[in-house]
Structure 1
Amino acid sequence: MTSPYAFTHALCRAPAPSAVKGIRADGGPDPDFYGLVAEHEAYVATLRDLGLAVEVLEPLDDFPDAFFTEDVALTFPEGAILLRPGAPSRAGEVDHIREPLAARHSRLLEMTGPGYADGGDILRLADRVIIGLSARTDRTGAEELAALLGQLGYPAQIAETPPGVLHFKTGCGLIDQGTILAVPALADCPEFAGLEVVTTPPGEEPAANILRIGDTVLIGDRWPATHALLAARGIAIRTLPTEQIAHIDAGLSCMSLRW
């Protein structure tokens, strides 16, 4: 298996004006559209600055959440997998990502159901992939996805996502090949056996959705205690604004497909 963060390519989608009506679990105010665009553009620019070839697809106004491309597919050097998003309003997004992925991957697999799986519940490690069960990923979908991952040569484990954590990766992210940053509720996840788990400082649980790109960890800019924690470990970090995407339950990993 290749490194879980040695990426050379990314596929993003620009947010449409409808994105301000994106799904959110607990209500709350709409994000500012121009703020969303600015956060997305800063994200794309950072990926490019870190050496990735980034392609940005056209916005899809019929699908408010479509700029969170990670939820509808998984991408690896060996091929891509089309998922079945757990939110009914997102099911149609899959058809819009199919052709772009087929053009960039020689092998394209696809979930057929009846189960569901969101990319936000999938954490790739150095030696395996963890699929977290959540309101958007059920066990039937997780088992089908595990079989598809096996076809690409990736062993998979199925984990429980704690109550109150929307997606598995809402609560955890990869610091390096042997270390996980996780919210306290995920600190004792059995599937993290053999890894060091670093917990988020009090009040900074949203910082857990980090994104490792090469030698650099991308993290939201509002979490100074977590910044200090990572810096003390000698980790290079880039801080990015996430205030607007947080209004629609999203984080840094959501906004790209990477391989």
Structure 2
Amino acid sequence: MSDPTFEFSRAITRRPAPTIADGLRAEDIGNPDFDWMTAAHGAYVAALKSTGAEVIELDPLDAFPDAQFVEDTALCLPQGAVLMRPGAPSRMGEVAEIAPALRACYETVTQINGPGHIEGGDILVTGREILVGRSDRTDAEGVEELAKITSEWGHKLREVFTPEGVLHFKTDCSLMDAETILATRRLDASGCFEGYRVLHVADGEEAAANAIRFNNLVLMAAGFPRTAEMLDREGYEVIEIDNTDCAKLDGGMSCLSLRF
């Protein structure tokens, strides 16, 4: 039997638009380079495809410079997909753009109607529960509405809190397998992962915490050698992807795909 937390047959991605320099960012560390980001995105898609998965590649959306970060727009579970309600006003329109692709893949597609907000970057699905981190983009009302939907599908949802100054819960953590989480020390110190096996990213390599386990691979941002070596020692097959330009828009590995 496959493990729905990391064994996937499909993914949805969206190619970056030439308007990416207009994307949101917590601090300005320079504009992303469109050509470099497009090349890195191609390497990311190729890595997903190398596992045998089908990758649905959507067209760029010039009107939505953050739209390549498709993960924030939906939560994909075995029972169905839930369209999110982003906390950033400029991203609200992305949800209607992703909906047709999800409806083509799922019989059941529901959505967060509000008034609350919730983004996929704050949601970590483990082997035993759905962890949702409250953040600047995800509020109590959004978490409550998602909990009602997922409980009807038989999932246990637990609300946790994202550290101050961290954009999304998954900025600081990722799932390596059903019971193992890669996390920063600051997030693990909150106690939210009690009972799990937790691997810490190397000190000074906190940005490496946003990775994805996709079938046999762990995709992580390049440039974090000690964390990559640790994951290799732990028996994971690591693929490093250039994340330089996505990072300028607060993006990482998980943001770039919906996996199901």
* TM superposition score normalised by structure 1: 0.97
Structure 1 counterpart of 2:159? 158
Matches within 5 A, 1:44-63: 44-63=45-64
Q: Does 1:219 align with 2:220?
A: yes
For the residue of structure 2 that corresponds to 1:143, the secondary structure is helix
For the residue of structure 2 that corresponds to 1:55, the secondary structure is strand
Q: Does 1:76 align with 2:83?
A: no
Q: Does 1:28 align with 2:33?
A: no
Deviations 1:181-230 (A, max 9, x none): 11111112333121022211111000000100112211111100001111
User: Which range moved further: 192-201 or 156-165?
Assistant: 192-201
Matches within 5 A, 1:161-180: 161-180=162-181
CA distance in 2, matches of 1:28, 1:21: 13
Contact 1:157 1:191 in 2 (8 A): no
CA RMSD of aligned residues (A): 1.2
Contact 2:51 2:216 in 1 (8 A): no
- State the identity as a percent: 43
Structure 1 counterpart of 2:200? 199
User: Which range moved further: 120-129 or 232-241?
Assistant: 232-241
| CA displacement at 1:254 relative to structure 2 | 0.4
For the residue of structure 1 that corresponds to 2:19, the secondary structure is helix
Structure 2 counterpart of 1:108? 109
Structure 2 counterpart of 1:39? 40
Moved over 3 A (4+): none
Structure 1 counterpart of 2:255? 254
Give the aligned residue type for 2:258. L
Matches within 5 A, 1:10-25: 10-25=11-26
Give the aligned residue type for 1:100. A
Deviations 1:113-147 (A, max 9, x none): 00000100000101111000000001111111111
CA distance in 2, matches of 1:36, 1:90: 20
Deviations 1:18-61 (A, max 9, x none): 11221101122111011110111111111001111001111110
For the residue of structure 2 that corresponds to 1:158, the secondary structure is strand
CA distance in 2, matches of 1:93, 1:212: 25
| CA displacement at 1:174 relative to structure 2 | 1.1
Structure 2 counterpart of 1:96? 97
Any unmatched runs of 5+ in structure 1? none
* TM superposition score normalised by structure 2: 0.97
